[in-house]
Structure 1
Amino acid sequence: MYLTPIEAQEKFGYHPRTLARWAEAGKIECIKSPGGHRRYLASSIEQLIDGIDSRSVVLYARVSTRSQSEDLTSQIEYLGRNYPNCRCYSEYGSGLNFKRKKFINLMEKVAESEIKTIVIAHKDRLCRFGFDFVEWFCSLHKCQIVVLNNTYKSPQQELMDDFMSIMHCFSSKLYFLRRYEKDIKSTVDKMDKTNKT
């Protein structure tokens, strides 16, 4: 039975671009419809999947600031000891920010069915909030998230941790503003004096 790229994606979990690459490499059987659209032989995809799962296992480590680079190094070493010979994505950035460059790159690769497992040290290393959504998104693309230090927390503990994360984030921003408060006031005063004259 031949499947459209979307049908093949729904059945096997591989992105249409991945299927096209496999067809061009001769790994799966493909025909083109009179309109030029690809159709994939389901049995050839099944044979390829049964043979070798070519998707990657990757490690992901993150810290908020460069001053925590020692923690980042220890995370990478810890992950590498448990999963040797795997590519490691590491970056500096807030766990509240979903626009981190390597995080987005990782999620794109998950969406294209290029990654089968993401290994992290703690849940909050991947993201502070929305871990359940990220986990659901990954499972949708047949990708598993392995949390090495997955300690159980009660709902109250999780809520308190979330609250503390938010407070820390906002207090850091306030501290940043206070640091430049005198400069901002003097600039505003100068502008006021200039406008009055």
Structure 2
Amino acid sequence: MSNVYRIGDFAKRVGRSVSTVRRWEAEGRITARRLPSGQRYFDDSDVRTVLQPGFDAARRKVVVYCRVSSSGQEADLAMQVAAMQRFCLARGLAVDEWISEVGGGMDLRREKFLALMDSIDRGEVATLVVAHKDRLARFGFDLVEHVAARSGCEIVVANQETLSPQQELVEDLLAVVHTFSGRLNGLRRYEKELERANLTVAGDR
């Protein structure tokens, strides 16, 4: 007897996101069945269809993402793009989309980065290529990779350290120090306010 899967369970079974399964439906690549109650479901035949080699590869993109932290690093960005072109050519990767962005590696709200992650979540990206892990995120690359893997996206890291400017690392570390310094100052103010409050209470007794 064939197993019955609701859309969330089916997505987990085939290792894709729910949004990807809905995209497949919209494209007519799979069709949900319905129980007498009207509830939509998939079965093992749909699982076998989706898990066939190349089922989703033909419609999914290879994307290269390049990033520098500031507009003054245009030369670094051009060098990074050129190096990625050589890397992809040597790997035999046919690139569908090139993304270049200017923004700090600690800022995970970068406009193009978020648009890329949305595209990955929709199952539109098969392979994402970056020069170095910190081109995507200075911290938290493992989480980004985990989210990508859940949507069937492989992240290929060229690991070219020369394309990860040391000056960026210095700037990001200074930003971390500045952030924690501000929090520490806030904590000290809070402690002083508590001391004053305690003294006031003690004086009123």
Distance 1:37 1:101 in 2: 37
What is the aligned partner in structure 2 of residue 104 from structure 1?
114
Distance 2:51 2:176 in 1: 44
* 1:32 Cα offset (Å): 2.5
Match 1:128 to one of 117, 138, 163: 138
Distance 2:42 2:48 in 1: 11
Distance 1:29 1:14 in 2: 16
Q: Does 1:165 align with 2:172?
A: yes
What is the aligned partner in structure 1 of residue 34 from structure 2?
32
Q: Report if aligned partners of 1:123, 1:150 keep a CA contact under 8 Å in 2.
A: no
Higher relative contact order (CA 8 A, sep 6+): 2
Cα deviation per residue 1:86-109 (whole Å; 9 max; x = unaligned)?
A: 312211100010000111112222
Q: 1:25 to 1:2 in 2, by over 3 A?
A: farther
One-letter amino acid of the structure 1 residue matched with residue 78 of structure 2: T
Distance 1:66 1:164 in 2: 14
Q: 1:41 to 1:77 in 2, by over 3 A?
A: farther
Could you say what the CA RMSD is over the residues aligned between the two structures, in angstroms?
2.6
Tell me the percent identity: 33
TM-score by length of 2: 0.67
What is the aligned partner in structure 2 of residue 2 from structure 1?
4
SS at match of 2:67: strand
Q: Report if aligned partners of 1:58, 1:115 keep a CA contact under 8 Å in 2.
A: yes
Deviates more, 1:56-65 or 1:41-50: 41-50
Match 1:81 to one of 86, 99, 109: 86
What is the aligned partner in structure 1 of residue 198 from structure 2?
none
What is the aligned partner in structure 1 of residue 72 from structure 2?
67
* 1:120 Cα offset (Å): 0.4
TM-score by length of 1: 0.69
Unaligned runs of 5+ in 1: 152-160, 172-197
Cα deviation per residue 1:48-69 (whole Å; 9 max; x = unaligned)?
A: 4414233322111001111211
* 1:150 Cα offset (Å): 5.5
Cα deviation per residue 1:105-138 (whole Å; 9 max; x = unaligned)?
A: 1222222222232110011111111122222222
What is the aligned partner in structure 1 of residue 190 from structure 2?
none
Distance 1:110 1:89 in 2: 14
